[in-house]
Amino acid sequence: MKKLSQAAQRLEGQRMFQILTLGRDLERQGREILHFELGDPDFGTPENITQAAIEALKGHQTHYAPSGGLRELKDAASEVTVRSRGFRPAPEQLLVCPGANVMIYYAASCLVDPGEEVIVPDPGFVSYFSILKFLGIKIVRVPLREENEFRLDPDDVEKAVTAKTRMIIMNSPSNPTGAVMTEDQVKRMFEIARRRDVYLLSDEIYARMIYEEAGTRHYSPSRFDQCRETTIVVNGFSKSYAMTGWRLGVVTGPEEVISKMGLVLETTTSCVSPFIQKAGIEALKGSQEQIFKMVEEFRKRRDALVDGLNTLPGVRCLKPKGAFYVFPNIKNTGYSSEEFAARMLTDAGVALAPGPIFGDHAEGYVRLCYTNSIETINKAIEKMRKVLSR
Ligand SMILES: Cc1ncc(COP(=O)(O)O)c(C=O)c1O
């Protein structure tokens, strides 16, 4: 075979998809596998959203659209930002993208040169690491600690900033831990980024998935600069609207940054399909009732999963305040994270993700997504108990 580029050799992809494939192989052999490995809501996309896409398809909205996105979708996103974050971004500050994942790639490729540094929470979303490695950017990892309920500590971030830092990534609520940062922590993150003159990429894809106990709310650093200088807000429809397969999101940032990110999109993808954008407009403007119902259901599932995990020998699990992940400590089971995940897949038929795929500071943990019914959650707990009690 002819040689591959060095960048291609550094690519890691998303290991959860590879675990899904292993699970599907076992299913083909007749095994029952309970799936907790992939962050994909099990709810259908709300009917009104699907209907909007069908109407757009029938109305022949099947051609190119403006590369930066339909104005109507940008206006709807602006309106939501007024309500959720307290400011109205200009249309030039918004870019409609095929999902949130590419936004991270567009931002890093436009703002950071190879050899320069980006600060990343560890454990963190797998794509951060794969994208930055692909681009030859140095990853500076800031460990998230269980004793801090896995919240990113601004003091740790401050210590990690150097003359070569170009961007800081934060993600609240977090994948893989479900941790939600406090108002004070978010404010301090913004202050650090502004003082050190670096971009702050705030991945807010789980912002609507917050379980508002004890005053928990989602805070965005964007409200301090209105995404005019420092903050870039990554957001998408995948998780909160159960639209993972539609590939749609809107990123907000400083005009000059968005303009360059838009050129990357225009160069590589041309535009997001207009009928998909029409569905997005309906998602933002239509009734939000189903979304609230989904969040309420996720809360019940979280409680069932966390309570169940805490009854398993050697397992200890915090109750996260957001997203749909739990990140239990499995150190006292005697298994490494990889062993635990492999054993649960083959012996219990429960597919989950080993912590270390999310970074270098996650040995002794595993991630489970509660995108499953309570019945399936209870069944998985009992299957895992059998394996751990042997
Ligand atoms: C933290 C985080 N950011 C971004 C994404 C990407 O989402 P999308 O489906 O919009 O590309 C995910 C998906 O798992 C995620 O967990």
- CA of residue 100 to ligand 1 center, whole Å: 6
Residue 78 in tokens:
């602006």
Mean pLDDT across 107-131: 97
- Please work out whether the CB of residue 175 comes within 6 Å of at least one atom of ligand 1: yes
Cα distance between residue 121 and residue 324, in whole Å: 18
Is this model's pTM higher than 0.85 or not?
A: yes
- Please work out whether the CB of residue 176 comes within 6 Å of at least one atom of ligand 1: no
Whether residue 222 lies inside any domain: the answer is yes
- The CATH number for 98's domain is 3.40.640.10
Whether residue 185 lies inside any domain: the answer is yes
Q: Residue 328: what pLDDT?
A: 98
Whether residue 1 lies inside any domain: the answer is no
Written as one letter, the residue type at 374 is: I
Whether residues 132 and 28 share a domain: the answer is: no
Instruction: Note down the domain range covering 215.
Output: 63-285
Whether residues 297 and 272 share a domain: the answer is: no
- The CATH number for 367's domain is 3.90.1150.10
Residue 114 preceded by cis peptide, ω within 30 = no
Beta-carbon neighbour count of residue 375 at 10 Å?
A: 9
Whether residue 55 lies inside any domain: the answer is no
78 neighbors 91 (Cβ within 8 angstroms): yes
- Please work out whether the CB of residue 371 comes within 6 Å of at least one atom of ligand 1: no
Atom of ligand 1 nearest to the CA of 125: 1
- CA of residue 30 to ligand 1 center, whole Å: 31
Q: Of 243, 263, 285, which residue is a domain's last?
A: 285
- CA of residue 322 to ligand 1 center, whole Å: 14
Which of the listed residues 16, 96, 101 should we mutate to test ligand 1's pocket, taking the one with most ligand atoms within 8 A of CB?
A: 101
Whether residue 382 lies inside any domain: the answer is yes
Whether residues 118 and 250 share a domain: the answer is: yes
**Total domains in the fold of the chain:** 2
Which of the listed residues 19, 170, 233, 239 should we mutate to test ligand 1's pocket, taking the one with most ligand atoms within 8 A of CB?
A: 239
Residue 339 in tokens:
């062993």
Asked whether residue 288 carries a pLDDT value surpassing 90, the answer given is yes
Whether residue 219 lies inside any domain: the answer is yes
Q: Of 236, 268, 285, which residue is a domain's last?
A: 285
Whether residues 362 and 274 share a domain: the answer is: no
- Please work out whether the CB of residue 173 comes within 6 Å of at least one atom of ligand 1: no
Cα distance between residue 225 and residue 153, in whole Å: 21
- CA of residue 205 to ligand 1 center, whole Å: 6
Mean pLDDT across 268-289: 97
pLDDT band at 213 (very low <50, low <70, confident <90, very high): confident
- Please work out whether the CB of residue 101 comes within 6 Å of at least one atom of ligand 1: yes
Mean pLDDT across 283-302: 95
Cα distance between residue 248 and residue 257, in whole Å: 19
Asked whether residue 193 carries a pLDDT value surpassing 80, the answer given is yes
- CA of residue 204 to ligand 1 center, whole Å: 9
Asked whether residue 184 carries a pLDDT value surpassing 90, the answer given is yes
Whether residues 266 and 343 share a domain: the answer is: no
Give the angle subtended at the CA of 268 by the CAs of 263 and 270, to the nearest 5°: 75
Beta-carbon neighbour count of residue 104 at 10 Å?
A: 22
Q: Residue 217: what pLDDT?
A: 87
**pLDDT tens-digit map of 355-390:** 999 999 999 999 999 999 999 999 999 999 999 998
pLDDT > 90: percent of the chain = 94
Residue 181 in tokens:
């940062």
- Please work out whether the CB of residue 244 comes within 6 Å of at least one atom of ligand 1: yes
- Please work out whether the CB of residue 131 comes within 6 Å of at least one atom of ligand 1: no
- CA of residue 59 to ligand 1 center, whole Å: 30
Q: Which of 156-160, 292-296, 305-309 has the lowest mean pLDDT?
A: 292-296
Whether residues 87 and 189 share a domain: the answer is: yes
Whether residue 52 lies inside any domain: the answer is no
The mean pLDDT of the chain is 96
CA 61 to chain centre: 29
145 neighbors 193 (Cβ within 8 angstroms): no
Asked whether residue 215 carries a pLDDT value surpassing 80, the answer given is no
pLDDT band at 188 (very low <50, low <70, confident <90, very high): very high
Atom of ligand 1 nearest to the CA of 237: 10
pLDDT band at 330 (very low <50, low <70, confident <90, very high): very high
Cβ neighbours for 130, distance < 8 A, ≥ 6 positions apart: 11, 12, 13, 14
Cα distance between residue 49 and residue 47, in whole Å: 5
Mean pLDDT across 158-177: 98
Instruction: Give the pairing of strands 249-252 and 94-97.
Output: antiparallel
Whether residues 270 and 369 share a domain: the answer is: no
- Please work out whether the CB of residue 171 comes within 6 Å of at least one atom of ligand 1: yes
pLDDT band at 214 (very low <50, low <70, confident <90, very high): low
Whether residues 175 and 306 share a domain: the answer is: no
Whether residues 273 and 315 share a domain: the answer is: no
**pLDDT tens-digit map of 217-274:** 899 999 999 999 999 999 999 999 999 999 999 999 999 999 999 999 999 999 999 9
CA neighbours within 13 Å on the CB side: how many for 33?
24
**pLDDT tens-digit map of 9-35:** 998 878 888 888 989 999 999 999 999
CA 279 to chain centre: 21
Beta-carbon neighbour count of residue 377 at 10 Å?
A: 23
- CA of residue 65 to ligand 1 center, whole Å: 24
**pLDDT tens-digit map of 32-87:** 999 999 999 999 999 999 999 999 999 999 999 999 999 999 999 999 999 999 99
- CA of residue 338 to ligand 1 center, whole Å: 23
- Please work out whether the CB of residue 177 comes within 6 Å of at least one atom of ligand 1: no
164 neighbors 312 (Cβ within 8 angstroms): no
Q: Of 285, 319, 345, which residue is a domain's last?
A: 285
- Please work out whether the CB of residue 205 comes within 6 Å of at least one atom of ligand 1: yes
- Please work out whether the CB of residue 99 comes within 6 Å of at least one atom of ligand 1: yes
**What's the Cα-to-Cα distance from 15 to each of 38, 39, 379, rounded to whole Å?**
10, 12, 25
Cα distance between residue 314 and residue 388, in whole Å: 8
Whether residues 309 and 196 share a domain: the answer is: no
| Closest C-alpha among 94, 92, 102 to residue 252 | 94
Q: Residue 17: what pLDDT?
A: 86
Whether residues 219 and 354 share a domain: the answer is: no
Whether residue 58 lies inside any domain: the answer is no
1 or 194, which is more confident: 194
Whether residues 120 and 267 share a domain: the answer is: yes
